């Protein structure tokens, strides 16, 4: 039976290769340490998420992204300066090994630094975490620990949930960057207008 756990226990479970539900700055998410492939595979099963749909990755710093061998381009640095920590997921090209870990058919992955100090502390201790909204694929995201427990009742893949109260903010905006262009995959908390203003600004 899935239990409510505190942050210390959540860190221990994640580091041990388990999947844990965590409150984020938007909604509740379910996550697994990126460096533990078996845990990421469990996360796909829990969500009943198609393997062709890549998982986003939460980190506590850009340095944590670069430690994965990811080149962090100038457009991404502009967006990170403007909107991180916050509800913007930035999709960039990544090494094949990282793309394979998060799933999906492309050689890219999405990263985000959440605007939640406790969650960033967890990330600083366990490393990058593949984390996606707490719901079965296609359903609405859970906004409370009680909803998480109800949604995944009887599912042995979820080891615990941290109760952080209600989380009812908009989901993150998702932007994909390439060498020569960018596109919005999903508009959420941050508007296309605000993103365009940052990317079109002359920083010289």
For 141-153, the pLDDT digits (tens) are 999 999 999 999 9
Residue 203 has pLDDT above 80, yes or no: no
Say how far apart CA 41 and CA 193 lie, in whole Å: 36
Q: What is the mean pLDDT of residues 181-195?
A: 96
Give pLDDT, residue 51. 81
Six token digits for residue 85 = 């920590």
Q: How confident is the model at residue 24 (pLDDT cuts 50, 70, 90)?
A: very high
Give φ, ψ of 95 to 5 degrees.
-60, 150
Give pLDDT, residue 204. 47
Structural domains present in the chain: 3-200 (3.90.870.10)
Higher pLDDT, 136 or 52: 136
Residue 26 has pLDDT above 70, yes or no: yes
Q: What is the mean pLDDT of residues 12-36?
A: 97
Say how far apart CA 93 and CA 52 lie, in whole Å: 16
Q: How confident is the model at residue 160 (pLDDT cuts 50, 70, 90)?
A: very high
pLDDT averaged over every residue in the chain: 94
Task: Decide: 204 and 84 in contact? Cβ < 8 Å.
Answer: no
3-state SS, 136-202, equals CCCCCCCCCHHHHHHHCCCCCCEEEECCCCCCCCCCCEEEEECCCCEEEEECCCCCHHHHHHHHHCC
Q: What is the mean pLDDT of residues 177-189?
A: 93
Q: 125 exposed, middle or buried (CB, 10 Å; 0-12, 13-18, 19+)?
A: middle
Higher pLDDT, 33 or 204: 33
């Amino acid at each position: 039976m899935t239990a409510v756990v505190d942050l210390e226990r959540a860190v221990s479970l994640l580091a041990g290769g388990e999947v844990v539900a965590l409150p984020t700055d938007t909604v509740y998410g379910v996550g697994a340490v990126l460096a533990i492939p078996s845990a990421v595979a469990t996360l796909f099963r829990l969500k009943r998420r198609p393997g062709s749909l890549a998982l986003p990755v939460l980190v506590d710093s850009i340095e944590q992204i670069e430690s994965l061998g990811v080149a962090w381009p100038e457009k991404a640095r502009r967006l990170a300066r403007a909107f991180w920590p916050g509800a913007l997921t930035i999709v960039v090209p990544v090494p094949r090994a990282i793309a394979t870990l998060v799933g999906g058919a492309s050689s890219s992955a999405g990263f985000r630094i959440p605007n939640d100090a406790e969650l960033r502390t967890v990330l600083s201790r366990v490393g990058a975490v593949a984390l996606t909204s707490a719901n079965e694929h296609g359903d609405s995201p859970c906004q409370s620990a009680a909803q998480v427990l109800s949604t995944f009742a009887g599912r042995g893949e979820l080891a615990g949930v941290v109760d952080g109260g209600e989380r009812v903010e908009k989901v993150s905006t998702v932007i994909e960057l390439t060498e020569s262009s960018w596109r919005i995959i999903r508009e959420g908390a941050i508007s296309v207008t605000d993103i365009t203003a940052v990317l079109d600004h002359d920083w010289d």
